Amino acid sequence: QVQLVQSGAEVKKPGASVKVSCKASGYTFTSYGISWVRQAPGQGLEWMGWISAYNGNTNYAQKLQGRVTMTTDTSTSTAYMELRSLRSDDTAVYYCARVPAPYDYWGQGTLVTVSS
């Protein structure tokens, strides 16, 4: 069965970086992509971007351009999302989801807390 398992919760200081992983299983990793979606406390879903696991092509939300990098490691079927220059409003649960949309499989979510 398809599974996306994400790394554990992180606490970071403002200005730091965070890298969240999403390990896929149960399907051919390079036949799909991975998208990242975040949800601030009490807020809605925010699409962050996606990466093709086939060729590494990416598309990022304009709001995050320059601060976010999505990568994949096909040898371990793992996708990564790195967010830099963290601010308090980056505090959120970060989800990975299998691409293409619509998103039928999601990771369990990773809470990233940005606090001094």
Name the site residues for other proteins (rule: CB under 8 A).
35, 37, 44-47, 50, 59, 61-62, 95, 100-104, 106-109
> What three-state secondary structure class fits 28?
coil
Residues 63 and 38 sit within 8 Å (Cβ to Cβ):
no
Give me the phi and psi of 70, to 5 degrees please: -110, 135
- The nearest distance, CB 45 to other proteins, in angstroms, is 4
Nearest to 110 by CA among 80, 88, 87, 89: 80
- The nearest distance, CB 19 to other proteins, in angstroms, is 21
- Beta strand ranges found along 9-77 (DSSP E): 10-12, 18-25, 33-39, 45-52, 58-60, 68-73
- The nearest distance, CB 33 to other proteins, in angstroms, is 11
- The total number of residues shown for the chain amounts to 116
Q: How far apart are CA 15 and CA 29, in angstroms?
A: 33
- The nearest distance, CB 14 to other proteins, in angstroms, is 26
Decide whether 18 or 37 has the Cβ nearer to other proteins.
37
